Structures are given as structure tokens and as C-alpha cells.
Structure 1
Amino acid sequence: MSFFPGTDPQAGDRFACDAIENLIIPRSSDIGGFAVRRALPSRQRRLVGPFIFFDRMGPALLRAGEALDVKPHPHIGLSTVTYLFDGEIKHRDSLGTELVIRPGDINLMTAGRGIVHSERTPENLRGRPLSVSGLQTWLALPDDREEIDPAFSHTGFEAMPAIDSDGASGRVVIGNFAGLSSPVPVFTDTLYVDLRLAPARRFPFPAAHEERAVYILSGELNVAGDGFAADQLLVFRPGDEITLEAGPQGCHLMLVGGAALNSKRYIWWNFVSSSRDRIEKAKEEWRTGRFDIVPGDEEEFVPLPNM
């Protein structure tokens, strides 16, 4: 989830494929009864394009009586992106937004100078088993947008352009790919594509974006003769033309990338900034209650961690 007190991933094994700059094997942590795997940031790689945080949630089954309850917590300097494959999550934020995200939809919440939000199992689904599977990512904002006013954008599944090409299917979730453009608003070149390949299907991943990676959600992916299993992040060298080839069972992938940022980013807890001083200011603002509250979810909050 967007609040995740886990540790960084471990570095992967060495590999033969020269086209791959980094191989990252996420480290798994338990959040409320289901596994979350973090691929970014890692010891090897802090960002891919604007993506500074990449978490794989589940797949998992919450038993009857269990629920997802991420209490109100703050963000600065980033946009959170929530994308589900299964389950539902109710989002509330300090702008007054209250909305349930469902599989295939995108919630993009831009923190800018500061926002607070919570993520919980909807009331109508509590008390019965609930499957949860999806991705939570953060996009670091460009230098000139770090302190913009907070905003929220929801885009439904049906609005995202579909990929349908002889054994390749999916959606362009954010950005431009294969001649298709997503309507999701972002502030810099960003690529986020949900792609499924049939067994042995080959598909090009052009070098149109400055930085690119693939997260393998299921199945096996072959790149230049090397095979890679699920729950690995492959970061490709800039400029190389890549061909993605599915293994004998097919594969499900997320294509990730975009333009590199112009300056270094610091990340502490839920705060991202090009300035250490700005993060210290945000810590003090949360500690002293100067962030806005979340209407309808005012009774609880996540305290500032001691780390």
C-alpha cells in the first residue's frame, strides 16, 4: 500500500543478458495478513523514470472478519498510483474525495505540497472473504511541480486504450505506447502498461522512453535467451531495442518507465522531495497536526515513525 513499513528488496543474481541493467528481486513483507513485495526503491536502483516506489500487493485472500485498514497518513512531493487486479479499496483523502477503486481503474492522487489519505476495505464487503491483488506505485514529481496544490484523479477501466494484437492484450494505463495514449494526467513522460502475452508470443518494447523496466506478475519472460520468473523487476539499458517473449505458459507483465528526473530525490517514510529540509519540515508538520484531516475518517491516523 502507499503506507508500507517494509525493508528494501534484495539484489538479484547475476545474469547473462547484456540488455538488462538491473535485476531486482523484491523482498516480501506482511501487511495486515497479505504479502507485499517492494521492488523500488532498492539498493541497486532508486528510480525508473519517475517511478520511485513499486509495490506488488498480494494476491491474497482476506478471511471473513479481516479487512484492509490503512489509517490516514500524509504524503508530499509525489503522485500515488493505485491499480487493482482483484478486490476493492475505499479511498478517502483530505480534499474530501471518497471513492471505491475497482479492478482495472486507476486512482492517481497528487500530493504536491501535502495531502492525507486512507485506504480501507469498503463497508459492504466486510465480514466475508475478500481477495486482494494489485499494484501501488509512486511517481516523483518534477522539480517545478513538487509544491503544487494537491489533486485527485480517477480514471475508469473503459477509458484506457486497449492493446489487442494476435496473442498480446492489455491496457495503456499511463502514457503513450504502441500508438495508443492514456487519458490519465501526469506531469512528465511516464509509461505504465498492463500487458498479457500468450505462450511463446514475442512483443517489441521500443526504446522510445529514456528509462524502462518490466515487472513480471505471473508466468515466465524470456529476454535475449535468458528466462525470468514471476516477481522480478528487469531494468533495461537505455536505447536498446528489446523483444519480450512469453514462456510456455504465457506471462502477465507491467511495463514501467519514463523520463529521468533532473535532480536527486530523497525519500523518508511517505515523503519524497529534492530537499532534505523540506522532508524535515513535513515531519514536523505531521508531528504537530498541521496537515489537513480526512473527512469521514478523522478518528485514527498513522503516527510519525521513530526511524
Structure 2
Amino acid sequence: MPEIINPREHDLGGFKVRRALPDAKRRRVGPFVFFDHMGPHRFPVGEGIAVRPHPHIGLATVTYLWEGAISHRDSLGSQQDILPGDVNWMIAGRGIVHSERSPERFADQTHPIHGLQTWIALPEDRAEMAPAFEHHPAASLPSSERDGVRLVCVAGHGFGLRSPVSVQSDTLYVAIDLAAGAALPIPPEHVERALYLVEGEAELDAMPLPPWALVVLDADTTPVLRALSDCRLMLCGGAPLGPRFVWWNFVASSRERIEQAKLDWSEGRFERVPGETEFIPLPDK
């Protein structure tokens, strides 16, 4: 039977985020060590996302939206708005700092936000690689559409599609849209796989899928996903990379590397984000 992970819900000042990974029962799915579902939410006038500069090491962050926009700025000098269907891919490597805010053009209007933010651990031999940032517009992502099934390969490869995103390990990250009544077999082409039902109703081998939960598929099986209504899902996974320590925004294969990152941030040794004067201090815990 598939394993079901019910996310913990966080209220960030009226803005809901559901965190499925890491979980006490399962820390990782393939290389994915962090899985956050943002929204759906509509900000009133004068409100929005305002995440001050903060650091990362040892991972790649992936942002994918269905509604809204986020302005990304980082210590490499990157400045990029992400829109629905685009991919922002930031490789932290040995260390990067970034901020995320609602675009200034939304300041005097209500605006939506709905999307996923995930972290993908880097392989040990790439964990200290140079930081990098990539933006891939929606039109650049490979897709297929047939018999009421639309697939978009966000990162890695799946269903004969391969994303242009520069993954560092075997990765599965595919956005799925199904029309009511459509069916999709999920092939066992990756070691670990998990489905997340974003909208609508669907079943997997006749088992109803719970909404807003991460369902880890059994290995070496080809379950059939069937839409009971128009629905939207995300399929993630890939090859596992082994245990990782996750503390705050840091991912590493040793506690010593985490401690070094904590010290580096508290003593101001990370690069700054141009144009930003604020930052998030190191948490007490």
C-alpha cells in the first residue's frame, strides 16, 4: 500500500504553507528533502510575500507556480520574477543568499499566490559546487498532451520528457493535469516516486487520493492514476542520495558542515544580496 504523508500546516501571518517533507515518518523522497505547498491564497492590498535575505548550502531550490508571481534576488546578482509555469532553479552549493518578495507592481492591488517550493539535495561530490541560478520560462519546458492528460517536465526526466533544468542527480519532477475521466499509468522509471494532489479529485488503482497529501508509491509498480474530476497533481522523486542533515535552510551530509554554515551566517561571511539591507538572523533553535 502507498505511504501517505499528511503535511503540517504553517500560518505565516494569514498565508498558509503545507510542509510534507521532511516528515517524522519519511525524511526524503528521492533527492527531495523539502516539499512546501504555498496557498492557494489571495493577498489583500498592501500585503504579500516578504522573505528577507537568508542563506542556503548543499541543495537546489525549485520554485513552480500556478498563480501569482515572486521576485527573486540573490547574492550572485540575479533578479528574476517567476510567473505561472516558469521554473526558478537555484543551486546553493557551497553557499548562496536570496530574498523572495511579491513584485512591487502588486503593492496597490490584491493578488494570488499558489505554487510549490521544494529543495533537492545535491550529491556529496557536488555539495560544495559553485552557486548558480537558472530561470526557465514556461514555454521552454517540454510537455505532452493526449487523451485528457497534460504533462510538463519541470526538472529531471519522466514519460519520455527531459527538462532543460541543470539537475545534479537522477530526478523526477512532473506537473500533471488530467481532465475528468482521464487515466495515466505511472511507470517505474525512478527508484522513488510520490504524488501530490493539488486540486480536484483522483484515485490511484481505485484508492481515492487525499487532497494536499504526499502519497509515496510502492517501488517497481505501475499504478494507474485516474481523474474523478478535472484535477492537478505533482509527481516527484528520483534516486535517493543517502541521509542528509537539515537544519533551518542548510542541508549537508555532516553535522560539522551545518555548524560551519551556522557560524558563517552569524559572523557575516556569506555574500550579500545587492540592493538588500535586511536579513533573517540565525534562529536560536
> TM range, normalised to the smaller chain?
over 0.9
1:302 aligns with 2:283: no
The ranges of structure 1 where at least 4 consecutive aligned residues each deviate by more than 2 angstroms after the TM superposition are none
Instruction: Indicate which of 41, 45, 55 corresponds to 1:60.
Output: 41
Q: Is contact 1:72–1:117 with CA below 8 Å preserved after alignment? A: yes
Instruction: Name the structure 1 match of 2:233.
Output: 253
Q: Is contact 1:160–1:173 with CA below 8 Å preserved after alignment? A: yes
**Mean Cα displacement is larger for which, 180-189 or 170-179?**
170-179
Q: Secondary structure at the match of 1:175?
A: strand
1:132 aligns with 2:113: yes
Instruction: Indicate which of 231, 234, 257 corresponds to 2:212.
Output: 231
- Using the TM superposition, give the Cα deviation of residue 250 of structure 1 relative to its aligned residue in structure 2, in angstroms: 2.6
Instruction: Name the structure 2 match of 1:120.
Output: 101
For residues 194 and 59 of structure 1, the distance between their equivalents in structure 2, rounded to whole angstroms, comes to: 16
Q: Secondary structure at the match of 1:174?
A: strand
Q: Is contact 1:218–1:229 with CA below 8 Å preserved after alignment? A: no
Instruction: Name the structure 1 match of 2:222.
Output: 241
- Using the TM superposition, give the Cα deviation of residue 253 of structure 1 relative to its aligned residue in structure 2, in angstroms: 0.5
For residues 128 and 54 of structure 2, the distance between their equivalents in structure 1, rounded to whole angstroms, comes to: 18
Instruction: Name the structure 1 match of 2:262.
Output: 283
For residues 69 and 226 of structure 1, the distance between their equivalents in structure 2, rounded to whole angstroms, comes to: 39
**Mean Cα displacement is larger for which, 78-87 or 27-36?**
27-36
- Using the TM superposition, give the Cα deviation of residue 170 of structure 1 relative to its aligned residue in structure 2, in angstroms: 3.0
For residues 50 and 269 of structure 1, the distance between their equivalents in structure 2, rounded to whole angstroms, comes to: 18
Structure 2: 5+ residue runs without aligned partners?
Answer: none
For residues 161 and 154 of structure 2, the distance between their equivalents in structure 1, rounded to whole angstroms, comes to: 10
Instruction: Name the structure 1 match of 2:71.
Output: 90
Q: How does 1:1-307 map to 2 (within 5 A)?
A: 18=1, 20=2, 22-247=3-228, 249-261=229-241, 263-297=242-276, 299-307=277-285
* Paired letter, 1:277: E
* Number of residues of Structure 1 aligned to a counterpart in Structure 2: 285
For residues 122 and 111 of structure 1, the distance between their equivalents in structure 2, rounded to whole angstroms, comes to: 23
Q: Secondary structure at the match of 2:201?
A: strand
Q: Secondary structure at the match of 1:256?
A: strand
- Using the TM superposition, give the Cα deviation of residue 229 of structure 1 relative to its aligned residue in structure 2, in angstroms: 2.7
Structure 1: 5+ residue runs without aligned partners?
Answer: 1-17
- Using the TM superposition, give the Cα deviation of residue 200 of structure 1 relative to its aligned residue in structure 2, in angstroms: 2.1
- Using the TM superposition, give the Cα deviation of residue 33 of structure 1 relative to its aligned residue in structure 2, in angstroms: 2.5
- TM-score, normalised on structure 1? 0.91
- Using the TM superposition, give the Cα deviation of residue 163 of structure 1 relative to its aligned residue in structure 2, in angstroms: 1.9
Q: Secondary structure at the match of 1:29?
A: strand
Instruction: Name the structure 2 match of 1:14.
Output: none
Instruction: Name the structure 2 match of 1:9.
Output: none
- Using the TM superposition, give the Cα deviation of residue 220 of structure 1 relative to its aligned residue in structure 2, in angstroms: 1.8
Cα deviation digits, residues 132-165 of structure 1 (max 9, x gap): 1100000000010000110001111001111201
- TM-score, normalised on structure 2? 0.98
* Paired letter, 1:105: D
For residues 13 and 134 of structure 2, the distance between their equivalents in structure 1, rounded to whole angstroms, comes to: 27
Q: Secondary structure at the match of 1:283?
A: helix
* Paired letter, 1:81: V
- State the Cα RMSD in Å: 0.9
**Mean Cα displacement is larger for which, 88-97 or 229-238?**
229-238
* Paired letter, 2:16: A
* Paired letter, 1:24: I
Q: Is contact 1:80–1:138 with CA below 8 Å preserved after alignment? A: yes
**Mean Cα displacement is larger for which, 218-227 or 279-288?**
218-227
For residues 108 and 281 of structure 2, the distance between their equivalents in structure 1, rounded to whole angstroms, comes to: 27
- Using the TM superposition, give the Cα deviation of residue 174 of structure 1 relative to its aligned residue in structure 2, in angstroms: 1.1
